[in-house]
Chain A
């Protein structure tokens, strides 16, 4: 469960996120749809406790991001589009490092990594250094790393950006599997078709504010109220 209440984040004079509120339930994929610079990454970073909100709060898995950051961290897996890996470590070592920091005991960790790598089709590459991996493989390792502790909440910031069709399919499958397991998933994108494909409910974020939220059908019905934004986002369908 994720509940965002009047979240605002200012950088100096720039208000990147402006009074955002929404809620995402377990077993639901919640989409954050918005153009470049709309405030998607900033919102997710606040939820992930990487940034502190200027005002407002968010409750993640029952914990406040402002007051119980460490507990929030234990409850989330955060995947960003431009996350990096330790090039000189193998895929398994990269993931194991995070697993250990999450406090997973050795045997549990090994088993969990095997399961994740099987789902993500990374088994053959597990013990190779990630430095020379393709972008798709790297992104899969990032996903395994973020979810090694099997968190109830997944924060995915454009997780398929820059991947080819096969890799996108693998990641989509993985996300849908997590949804079936009952995880709360927040998925950001600037491409309407991606959101349409995966998400149960969507919020459109524009200049830091949510201008519409609901199921895809509900949004379609209200489209004339934000015609220009909507048209540009639909344009993303053809990207």
Chain B
């Protein structure tokens, strides 16, 4: 049995499988609709809601209960003067639970006395830490209480004839020097590797199932095995269709993401002005890395799909792939590219994700790129060999 690869045969198989795939509605769903819709939705709507909440708390007056308000007129007046709160009267014990207020300030009975005697007065702030809004209001209240405390100190120092600056030996200004590009890049470096891996994995999934397991299930495999075409040519033609589907999905998700980022950069990086730009070389390299991810997933998916008895079985084996990509992503999440051990670049998928992160952040490390490409190529060849071999094994072909 000739096992050599015939490019003309592989091309015939490729074009046939491609037009067959394109006519499959499921492919369109996995390859084009999902990647272009889901990411913008996720990245635009999710953070939008969070931002809206922040803005809500920042802009409107929040309801706060002061328990024992009548005992602390000075403090109440100060809170009111800040213009940030509606001081409501409600049962302090249930106000937060009943959503009548977002925070409760407990003032002790001897508040004004202790203030006058220049002794510390215990003020307690209650809030609901499980509620983001309540937490934000608590911070607001705390800021005003600190301001009250400082105003009191200033008054006391002045009464004694001291300069209030005595207590501020340092004036501290914190400044974010990361350029806008880097803010954007750091965020993209986090999210893009996941995106690319996910769509490289899902984009070709249906094609992989269809061209191998599907061929068995439909009963066309036997016929195709009686034409004078080597199993390797068949496997390669089918493999290329899966790679192309994966790549298309990855590219489309990238486009959807770029559009979402352009439309609303703020919502992508909450609270920060971030922009993002890449050089042509970076884009080229990113494409190369995306290709290695797609090539790897396609080979694995085709191998698994040729092993499965039918559509349903292939689907059962392969669906977890889309979740499994989360594991290397999490592993790469909390390391900055500079601290990554070299062997990360030899682990499939992980190396692609790391290389992605580096490239997006503008760190082009030739050794890492080389390792990523070389090791990915090795994995692809191994997986493809396996897929090709499975096409030859009778026990796998007629496993029923």
Task: Report the count of interface residues on A (CB-CB < 8 A).
Answer: 32
Q: Determine the chain A residues whose CB is within 8 A of the CB of B230 once the complex forms.
A: 70
CB-CB contacts below 8 Å: B223-239 with A: 223-230
Stretch at the interface among A86-94, A160-168, A179-187: A86-94
Q: Is B117 an interface residue (CB 8 A)?
A: no
Tell which of B2, B13, B218, B227 touches A87, judged by Cβ atoms closer than 8 Å: B218
Q: Are B228 and A80 in contact (CB under 8 A)?
A: no
Q: Is B55 an interface residue (CB 8 A)?
A: no
Tell which of B219, B223, B394 touches A145, judged by Cβ atoms closer than 8 Å: B223
Q: Is B222 an interface residue (CB 8 A)?
A: yes
Give Cα A50 to B225, complex, Å. Answer: 6
Q: Mark A145-164, 1 if CB is under 8 A from B, else 0.
A: 11000000000000000000
Q: Determine the chain B residues whose CB is within 8 A of the CB of A73 once the complex forms.
A: 226-228
Q: Are A102 and B23 in contact (CB under 8 A)?
A: no
Beyond A97-B16, A100-B12, is A86–B226 a contact (Cβ under 8 Å)? Answer: no
Q: Determine the chain B residues whose CB is within 8 A of the CB of A83 once the complex forms.
A: 219-220, 222-223
Q: Of A70, A102, A146, which is in contact with the most chain B CB atoms at under 10 Å from its CB?
A: A70
Give Cα A83 to B2, complex, Å. Answer: 25
Tell which of B1, B20, B222 touches A69, judged by Cβ atoms closer than 8 Å: B1
Q: Are A101 and B12 in contact (CB under 8 A)?
A: yes
For the complex formed, measure the closest distance between the CB of B151 and the CB atoms of chain A, giving whole angstroms. 77
Beyond A97-B12, A97-B16, A100-B12, is A84–B220 a contact (Cβ under 8 Å)? Answer: yes
Give Cα A73 to B228, complex, Å. Answer: 5
Q: Is B118 an interface residue (CB 8 A)?
A: no
Known contacts A84-B220, A146-B226, then 15 further A-B pairs from the complex at CB < 8 Å, ordered by chain A residue: A45-B222, A50-B226, A51-B394, A80-B222, A82-B219, A83-B219, A84-B218, A85-B218, A85-B220, A86-B218, A88-B20, A89-B20, A97-B16, A101-B9, A101-B13
Q: Which residues of A contact B (CB under 8 A)?
A: 45, 48-52, 69-71, 73-74, 76, 78, 80, 82-89, 93, 97-98, 100-103, 142, 145-146
